[in-house]
A = this chain, B = another copy of it.
Amino acid sequence: MKKPTLIDVARIADVSAITVSRTLRDPERVSESTRIKVQAAVEELGYVPDSAASTLASKRSTVIGMLVPSFSNNVFSQVLAGAYDAIEGTKYSIQIGNTRYSALKEEEMVRRFLTMKPAGMIVAGVDQTEMTRKLLKATDCPVVQVMDIADDPIDSIVGFSNFQAAAEATYYMIQEGFRRIAFVGTRMDPRTQMRMAGYRSMMEKSGLYDPALQITTQIKSSVEIGRHLLGDILSTVPDCDAVFCNNDDVAVGIAFECERRNIRIPQDMGICGFNDLGTTSQMNPAVTSVHTPRVEIGKVAAQIVIDANAKIETRSEKIYDLGFELKKRASTNLRGAAFRSR
């Protein structure tokens, strides 16, 4: 007993194969009576379309290609989760590629994905190689960049401004009275670099910029590396009075190490994280962070692909800025802490 095909369904419904095909793909285009007959036959046989055959014949698959730089980074698992939410119940599926933060690897994967005629492509960030941009511009499937914002997207872009988010957080810390604010950057991927630029711009504007305050490493972010980095900071810039971290786990590590060394938060050291991954809000004292709409970004990106394939007219603008939210917590509340410690 082998898998039923369109022809089997057609025979039972007493129509031609192509009619069955149409009924399944676009029920509006057949008469109601045929639709009912066909649907009954499909039900009876438990027919499920063969996607390989469909892809081959139509030169268009139902696979959405999604390229992320990392799995270990929580941020991207959440973007993925959002995208999977969006395709739930649709005919689309997602195939993921791991670029490992390499633009060249990304280019190679884009090539590979494009050969399978994807329904859409979702890529992280805006730092593609020239060739990748060219390939993605030339393809006829929708392309969505995620996790940042730029003026000149390849096609659509969904995210928030890493530059602005960092600038706003930095501004807030300055307002709170911090002066020697360090930027702590791990991995130094393009989004972290944008954050550093936002930080720098605001520090310069306030006459507080000092290159020595930029502490960076190529190592990936983790709670452990955060702890080590506090040591580096204190030996390099002993008068540092606050840290702005490119990711929450680094901020958590720094907070733990401050506690261990009896460095008071925020009186001796202000701390601000990025992404608001869930732990910072629960600490003692709670750690300030920039909340980012990761799940929403994934959801919107996948929805753009789905809508474009259905030719649904969506918002004409191709730039979807989903914003961010600075979560002000005790770890940077210097004015409040000064007041309380009297």
Binding site for B on A (CB under 8 A): 3, 48-53, 55-56, 61, 63, 71-72, 74, 77-78, 80-81, 84, 88, 93-96, 98, 111-112, 115-117, 222-224, 227, 249, 252-253, 256, 259-260, 278-279, 281-284
Residues of B within 8 A of A81 (CB): 71-72, 98
- Nearest B residue to A111 via CB reads B48
Sample of 5 A–B contacts (CB below 8 Å)? A51-B52, A52-B53, A52-B117, A71-B77, A71-B81
Residues of B within 8 A of A88 (CB): 98
Residues of B within 8 A of A93 (CB): 95
CB distance from A259 to the nearest CB of B (A): 5
Known: A51-B116, A95-B95, A115-B48. A256 touches B227 (CB 8 A): no
CB distance from A140 to the nearest CB of B (A): 13
- Report whether B256 and A224 are in contact in the complex, using a CB–CB cutoff of 8 Å: no
Residues of B within 8 A of A95 (CB): 63, 93-95
Residues of B within 8 A of A77 (CB): 71-72, 74, 77
A252 to B78, CA, bound (A): 21
CB distance from A111 to the nearest CB of B (A): 8
CB distance from A106 to the nearest CB of B (A): 14
Residues of B within 8 A of A284 (CB): 256, 259-260
CB distance from A39 to the nearest CB of B (A): 18
- Report whether B3 and A115 are in contact in the complex, using a CB–CB cutoff of 8 Å: yes
A53 to B259, CA, bound (A): 60
- Nearest B residue to A87 via CB reads B98
Residues of B within 8 A of A74 (CB): 74, 77
Residues of B within 8 A of A278 (CB): 222-224, 249
CB distance from A56 to the nearest CB of B (A): 4
CB distance from A49 to the nearest CB of B (A): 8
- Report whether A71 and B61 are in contact in the complex, using a CB–CB cutoff of 8 Å: no
CB distance from A187 to the nearest CB of B (A): 15
- Report whether A112 and B48 are in contact in the complex, using a CB–CB cutoff of 8 Å: yes
Going nearest first, the 3 A-B pairs with the smallest beta carbon separation are A71-B81, A52-B55, A77-B77
Using A48-B111, A74-B74, A256-B282 as known contacts, list a sample of 8 further A-B pairs with CB atoms less than 8 Å apart, ordered by residue number in A. A49-B115, A51-B52, A52-B116, A71-B84, A88-B98, A94-B95, A249-B278, A252-B279
Known: A77-B72, A278-B223, A282-B227. A96 touches B115 (CB 8 A): no
Interface centre among A94, A227, A278 (most CB of B within 10 A): A278
A136 to B43, CA, bound (A): 22
- Nearest B residue to A60 via CB reads B52
Residues of B within 8 A of A3 (CB): 115
- Report whether A224 and B71 are in contact in the complex, using a CB–CB cutoff of 8 Å: no
CB distance from A161 to the nearest CB of B (A): 25
- Report whether B56 and A52 are in contact in the complex, using a CB–CB cutoff of 8 Å: yes
Known: A93-B95, A253-B282, A279-B279. A78 touches B84 (CB 8 A): no
